[in-house]
């Protein structure tokens, strides 16, 4: 849960350090060009770690809509599981990275099903998740913390993990 808080904080710093804010942005007000530089200096983490936290936060933290209204996170199931400490940040990063790769080409409903399946597998409760026969997902052999899952993209099966 501490890691989830670090990721959320990194996302908040990045949002408040947006280029659109210019010198009014959080990072620039402390003399840094980007939010990642501020995170590096404030926390003592490497540049790569700061960027990873920011990237993950973009998928897991509530976003602002075009008119400023709040939108749910890009991957709400992963966000909730990470915030509750059910999955670690490495699993959250692996799941979101894979789902982003197919997300633009796959049916959004299929992506949501895969998200639930992958989170359940990473949390060790896949046996409690029932998938209907009509779904287009196939679950393969589980050899790691995350099951191997395939999704149909443009008529071809593509592995998700």
Return the pLDDT at 77.
Answer: 94
Span between the terminal Cα atoms of the chain, in Å: 24
Residue ranges per domain, the chain? 2-71, 76-159
> Mean pLDDT score of the chain, rounded to an integer?
78
pLDDT in tens, 65-107: 778 788 888 999 999 999 898 998 888 998 998 888 887 777 8
Neighbours of 96 (CB within 10 A): 24
């Amino acid at each position: 849960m501490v890691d989830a808080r670090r990721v959320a904080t990194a996302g908040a710093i990045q949002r408040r350090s947006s280029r659109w804010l210019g010198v009014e942005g959080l990072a620039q007000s402390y003399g840094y060009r980007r939010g990642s530089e501020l995170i590096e200096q404030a926390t003592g983490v490497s540049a790569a770690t700061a960027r990873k936290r920011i990237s993950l936060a973009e998928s897991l933290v509530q976003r602002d809509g075009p008119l400023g209204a709040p939108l749910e996170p890009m991957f709400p199931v992963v966000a909730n599981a990470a915030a509750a400490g059910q999955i670690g940040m490495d699993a959250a990063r692996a799941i979101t990275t894979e789902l982003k790769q197919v997300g633009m080409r796959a049916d959004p409903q299929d992506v949501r099903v895969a998200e639930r399946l992958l989170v359940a597998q990473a949390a060790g409760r896949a046996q409690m998740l029932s998938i209907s026969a009509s779904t287009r997902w196939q679950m393969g052999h589980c050899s790691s913390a995350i099951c191997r899952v395939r999704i149909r993209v443009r008529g071809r099966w593509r592995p998700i993990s």
